Amino acid sequence: MKLSEKAEEILEALWVAVEEKGRGYLDIDSVGIPADDPSYAELTEKSFIEVKNGCVYLRPEGKSEGRQTIRRHRLAERLMMDILNIRGEDGDRKACQFEHLLNEGVDAKVCTMLNHPTTCPHGKEIPKGDCCIEAERQGDMGVVPLTELKSNQEGEIAYIQTGDSKKMQKLMAMGVLPGNRILLMQTFPSYIFRVGFSEFAIDTQMAREIFVRR
Amino acid sequence: MSWFRKKSRDEGGDGVVVHRKVALVGNPNVGKSVLFNALTGAYVTVSNYPGTSVEVSRGSARLGDEIFEICDTPGMYALLPITEEERVAREILLTEAPDLVVHVLDARNLERMLAMTLQLMEADLPVILVVNIMDEAERMGLVIDIPLLRERLGIPVIGAATARNRGVTEIKEAIGSYDGGRRIPFCYGRRMEQDIAAVAGELKGSYRLSAKALALLLLQRDEEVELLVRKTEGEGAGALESLVKEKIFLRRESFHLDLSLERKDIVHDLLEGVIRLPDKRRETFASRLSRLTVRPLTGVPILFVVLYFGLYQFVGKFGAGTLVDLIETQLFEARFNPWIITVSQRFIPWETIRELFVGEYGVITLGVRYAVGIILPIVATFFIFFSLLEDSGYFPRLALLVDRLFKKIGLTGRAVIPIVLGFGCDTMATMVTRTLETVRERIIATLLLALAIPCSAQLGVILALLSKAPGALPVWSVSLLLIFIFIGFLAARVLPGETPLFYMELPPMRLPQFRNVLTKTYTRMQWYFMEILPLFILASVLLWLGKITGFFVTLIGWMTPVMASIGLPKETAVAFIFGFFRRDYGAAGLYDLQAKGLMSPRQLTVAAVTLTLFVPCIAQFLIMKKERGTSVAVAIGVFVSLFAYGSGWFLNEFLLVTGLLS
């Protein structure tokens, strides 16, 4: 049974308080949802939480569900920022609405599309889903910008994403073509990479536009 | 940097034999200019720095019984031009109709560069392929089967190492005996060929390049080809253009990429069995050194070592110290000048005429003495230093090291060449700014060169001058550094537009060849000397005229309040008037004043800073006008003059208030 949106919000707040901040419980007044709201009953019924003396406790049964809700929330935030380019408060608000749609396998798809991100735009950890664990087990790191590689890591150029067609031509003329092997040699102060027997230096902005499959 | 070249004779007019034309094309830094030199015997500056041939060099070569006109083009990556240099190179193929195109490429990057050979063949150009730099490829363990490649392509293919003079004879023979070859056609995928055929079918006019190549360029939205086709096709142009637009729209997602990938596949098949890679990449000393120069932790200390030994010890101490002392003091002051004065006293009875040659501002005693005695040794040592760095392949590495910092002042790492060259000769450096990508970058670089980069001649004189007043040198250096950063920072914010992206190929590091460095230094010196000597003589004559007519005194009178406002004695006006002709000339003037003990350390520093910032020499101004246009040149000139004066005033007040240097 799918939880209501409000129930998800409560669970999220509680999970963050308990699992990330190490608190034992959450004061019901600080949840932001009135104590007489039916969603508390909904959660209690599933024995995810327990409400005692105005305090909300997370029951062991609720831990996994809490983890999933926070994961969906943070994935939604990443989606807003990385793909839809909606930032700031606007992004946060939209993410709050969006997260509730990310269940029944949609979260795994979004997560794969975002290449299994590990942190949300605010720098908090995104709990791993099954898809992340599976990808990790297979060693499939997906397609990442060159900036994500470490020095001396090698990969295959997957595609070049640039709005500027001249730049793409230049890159291609230099041998940066999908399918070619690329070895990142250095990342600072400029990116240096090797394709074939030639070495090239580019700045960070250009390195962001070369996508590599490891 | 190929403006030092022998003049080619323009033949082809009435009654003159028209020679067959050979164009050398290829990626930057593959050895086209070396080959050009080997073929023609003329000298083009060769360097281990991508994109140095900006101008087209022409020369002639006798191969067998025939004389060929050879032209060396700027580096190009593909038939579709992106940068200015590529446009120049393509223009030659498009309009000059060379009888032969020699494509030079780097054996180590055969796979990448062969795509352009295909494009040249596709355009129906008569192509000879030179697989160059074979020696370095072999050292890396690459084995290339040249005969097989020749067979596959159906055009003459020569393996060479032109820098070692290997394969040059074969290239000459191939040019002399070229018979068109029996080129093997290749095709793209079905859909690509269909699109090409559709467009090519509409091309009715006659062109230098094949319809297939033109169709592809049109599909890649090459504006120049569009223009050319519109002009040639006349009536039919409209229909053709809409067809091209339709095709472009249909393939809007990834035409360039599709094309590149198809070419890559063709090249891959062609090279099957032609190229054998080494099992393991060999780590050479050069690649280890290269890595040290690009890591900030080791690269920055290396930079300082290079600058300390190269600029300070070699140019500053040895060139501006030992050599100047030897030539200027020992040779000119002690022997030559007294001798020439005695001689002229005997042969030239008129006092005024004698003044012109051997007087205070005499053409010989002042003009030639400054040029030969002070400027020449400094500039010569600088050019040796610069050529060594250039040939070693250090500059591209320096460029990537400073790119992040240069971005702050609106430039990319690419600008490091003109800026470093500016320490040798600002005029030359201003010319080289044209290799920068955007107009904005060129203007910023031109401005900084005009304002805050002292040339080697000036630098040498000023170092010698200020080293006699303790503390003056640091004040001068800090002032200039701050001004450089401040103005660069400001210009980057004031000028509209964005800083372009930085990308650069890193050529392998090489041990500079002694002969190459010497020839290069020599040709640069020659250019430099031809440039400055007339100016020095002109300056001497004008100063002499000013002196005998009394205008000079009047001018000094006018300038005295200006000088006084920045705390300088009126005698410095002379140095500033000199400085109008050349900044170093002015600085040398200060040298004389200092020798007479007329200036305090504070005055010396203020004068040196103001003069360094002051109007660039006449030659630089003329080049600025040529490269950037009159309005930009005048604007920079006026700004620089006012800013120099303002900085002088400010520095003087600052030194007076703080009591530094007093």
CB contact under 8 A, A200 and B502: no
Distance CA B56, CA B70 (A): 10
- Closest A-chain CA to B29: A198
CB contact under 8 A, B404 and A170: no
Tell me the mean pLDDT in the region B591-619. Answer: 82
CB contact under 8 A, A190 and B142: no
Share of chain A above pLDDT 90, in %: 8
- B312-366, pLDDT tens digit by residue? 889 888 988 899 889 988 888 888 888 988 888 888 888 888 888 888 778 888 7
B620 within 8 A of B574, measured Cβ to Cβ: no
From A173, A185, A203, residue closest to B77, measured CB to CB = A173
Distance CA B583, CA B588 (A): 9
Question: Considering only A24-28, A197-201, B211-215, B492-496, which range has the smallest mean pLDDT?
Answer: A24-28
Q: Output the CATH code of domain B20-176.
A: 3.40.50.300
CA distance B87 to chain A (A): 14
- A171 interface with B at CB cutoff 8 Å: yes
pLDDT at B15: 47
For testing contact with chain B, the best of A161, A165, A171, A199 (most B CBs within 10 A): A199
CB contact under 8 A, A169 and B264: no
Give alpha helix (H) positions in B154-236.
168-176, 190-202, 211-219, 223-233
pLDDT at B615: 65
- Note the ipTM here: 0.81
- B520-568, pLDDT tens digit by residue? 788 788 877 887 778 778 878 887 888 888 887 888 888 888 888 888 8
Tell me the mean pLDDT in the region A156-180. Answer: 79
- Closest A-chain CA to B268: A180
Average pLDDT in chain A: 84
- Closest B-chain CA to A172: B260
- Closest B-chain CA to A176: B112
Question: Contacts of residue A203 in chain B, CB cutoff 8 Å?
Answer: 403-404, 407, 412, 501-503
Reading the block at residue B187, the tokens are 């095709």
For testing contact with chain A, the best of B135, B223, B257, B300 (most A CBs within 10 A): B257
B143 within 8 A of B273, measured Cβ to Cβ: no
Distance CA A49, CA A61 (A): 8
**Residues in CB range of B487: below 8 A, 6 or more apart:** B447, B448, B451, B452, B643
CATH 1.10.287.1770 boundaries in chain B: 190-276
Share of chain B above pLDDT 70, in %: 94
* B140 exposure class (CB count in 10 Å sphere: 0-12, 13-18, 19+): middle
CB contact under 8 A, B501 and A189: no
From A172, A174, A189, residue closest to B404, measured CB to CB = A189
Checking if the pLDDT of B1 tops 70, the result is no
Question: Contacts of residue A174 in chain B, CB cutoff 8 Å?
Answer: 77, 112, 503, 505
A180 within 8 A of B484, measured Cβ to Cβ: no
Distance CA A7, CA B156 (A): 77
Q: Name which of B396, B471, B397, B389 is nearest B423 in CA terms.
A: B389
CA distance B402 to chain A (A): 8
- B157-171, pLDDT tens digit by residue? 999 998 888 999 999
Checking if the pLDDT of B3 tops 50, the result is no
Place of tokens 């308080």: A17
pLDDT at B4: 35
CB contact under 8 A, A198 and B504: no
| Domains with residue ranges and CATH for chain A | 1-140 (1.10.10.10), 143-213 (2.30.30.90)
CB contact under 8 A, A201 and B403: yes
pTM across the whole model: 0.76
- Closest A-chain CA to B30: A198
* Fold that domain B190-276 belongs to in CATH: Helix Hairpins (1.10.287)
pLDDT at B581: 65
pLDDT at B8: 41
CB contact under 8 A, A198 and B505: yes
pLDDT at B616: 64
Distance CA B601, CA B591 (A): 13
Q: Name which of A60, A51, A3 is nearest A27 in CA terms.
A: A51
- B241-278, pLDDT tens digit by residue? 898 999 888 887 678 888 888 998 999 999 999 998 88
Place of tokens 């004040």: B475
- B175-190, pLDDT tens digit by residue? 988 887 677 888 898 8
CB contact under 8 A, B296 and A188: yes
Average pLDDT in chain B: 85
pLDDT at B590: 78
CATH 3.40.50.300 boundaries in chain B: 20-176
With cut-offs at 50, 70 and 90, classify the pLDDT of residue B413.
very high
pLDDT at B9: 41
- Closest B-chain CA to A190: B400
- B127-152, pLDDT tens digit by residue? 999 999 999 889 888 999 999 999 99
CB contact under 8 A, A197 and B504: no
